[in-house]
Homo-oligomer: A and B are copies of this chain.
Amino acid sequence: MDYKQILTTIEDEVQPYIGEGKVADYIPALGKISPAKFGMALHDIDGTVFQTGESSIPFSIQSISKLFTLTMAFQIEGDALWDRLGREPSGNAFNSLIQLEHENGIPRNPFINAGALVLADVIVSNSSDPKRAILEFVRKLCGNVKVEYDPVVARSEREWGDRNSALAHFLKSFGNLRNSVDAVLDTYVHHCALSMSCTDLSRAFRYLAHGGYNPNSGERLMSESQTKRINALMLTCGVYDAAGDFAYRVGLPGKSGVGGGIVAIMPGTWSTAVWSPALNDQGNSLVGTLALELLTTKTGVSIF
């Protein structure tokens, strides 16, 4: 399939929608970005990369990083991870405390903020330098040693992060945080502040399209069965409370971030990443979601 041509066409077709939606501004460091940006990259099963637009510009990957920490925590804990985390869609906003209270401190799934704090806690428990551990993991996956944390974003996130502090203390009050709130939040705000490009992300997540094997590093990260399960989690929980709508329109496992990035996986076929900063009402990239919808429509391929 001529992916290059398809990506170029998609870029053309989304132009009229650029400017719709709203850039995340809950932290000042994110609010400054121009909404008039678009980039997309796709790695096919042979390792060929196809790109269009600003696919090499690093942006704040935010919640997409939870996919990295989920993989790390899953490697550490295996299925024991699910004693501390659910696997169901939340049906509520990503930073809600309500379900957490009703469900006694077990976050509904690993991708809501509370769940990702538990993932960070697992990694903190398992590493003397968790921030370095995450950075090395990510660099190896994407083969780019220049990937860095954006310190301005991390600091901004921490300063404005009372909601996350509330979540962390709340988890701790239920005994579902083993390390200090400070240590966990420090790790969390850093991995959310990773700066990566569409190309970096698309390459990094090839293992999810390859049954757990990472063609970049030549390593197996997890079993084929575990990989399918991560993909299943992405589909049901990866795009906040828009899982049903995203599955309906795009039909792929995907993970979004409020920085405007979305990664999506077509198992056995390709991994892709798209970026456009303005968000729709559910907090996912408006143009990014549209681009992925066009991708499955034009290729005629989705998991359904």
What residues make up the interface of A, taking CB atoms closer than 8 Å to B? 86-92, 96-99, 101-102, 108-109, 162-163, 165-170, 172-173, 181, 224-225, 227-229, 231-233, 235-237, 241-245, 247-248, 251, 253, 267, 297, 300, 302-304
Q: Is the CB of A97 within 8 A of B170?
A: yes
Query: DSSP class of A's interface residues: helix, strand, loop or mixed?
Result: helix
Inter-chain contacts of A297 with B (CB < 8 A) = 225
22 contacts between A and B (CB under 8 A): A86-B244, A87-B244, A88-B89, A88-B91, A88-B245, A97-B170, A162-B172, A163-B170, A165-B165, A165-B166, A165-B169, A165-B181, A166-B173, A224-B300, A225-B297, A228-B304, A229-B248, A232-B304, A235-B247, A253-B304, A267-B303, A303-B304
A88-B89, A162-B172, A232-B247 are known contacts; what are 15 more A-B pairs with Cβ within 8 Å? A87-B245, A88-B241, A89-B243, A89-B244, A91-B91, A91-B108, A97-B98, A98-B101, A166-B168, A225-B297, A228-B304, A235-B304, A236-B244, A237-B244, A267-B304
In angstroms, how far is the closest chain B Cβ from the Cβ of A2? 21
Task: Give Cα A235–Cα B228 distance, bound, in whole angstroms.
Answer: 14
Task: Give Cα A9–Cα B224 distance, bound, in whole angstroms.
Answer: 22
Inter-chain contacts of A172 with B (CB < 8 A) = 162
Chain B residue at minimum C-beta to C-beta distance from A175: B162
Task: Give Cα A167–Cα B97 distance, bound, in whole angstroms.
Answer: 10
Inter-chain contacts of A267 with B (CB < 8 A) = 303-304
Q: Is the CB of B89 within 8 A of A96?
A: no
Q: Which of B88, B90, B91, B224 contacts A242 (CB 8 A)?
A: B88
Task: Give Cα A162–Cα B86 distance, bound, in whole angstroms.
Answer: 22
Inter-chain contacts of A89 with B (CB < 8 A) = 88-89, 91, 236, 243-244
Task: Give Cα A276–Cα B251 distance, bound, in whole angstroms.
Answer: 30
Task: Give Cα A283–Cα B149 distance, bound, in whole angstroms.
Answer: 45
In angstroms, how far is the closest chain B Cβ from the Cβ of A197? 26
Chain B residue at minimum C-beta to C-beta distance from A233: B248
Chain B residue at minimum C-beta to C-beta distance from A241: B88
Inter-chain contacts of A87 with B (CB < 8 A) = 244-245, 248
Task: Give Cα A2–Cα B92 distance, bound, in whole angstroms.
Answer: 43
In angstroms, how far is the closest chain B Cβ from the Cβ of A26? 10
Q: Which of B163, B245, B300 contacts A169 (CB 8 A)?
A: B163
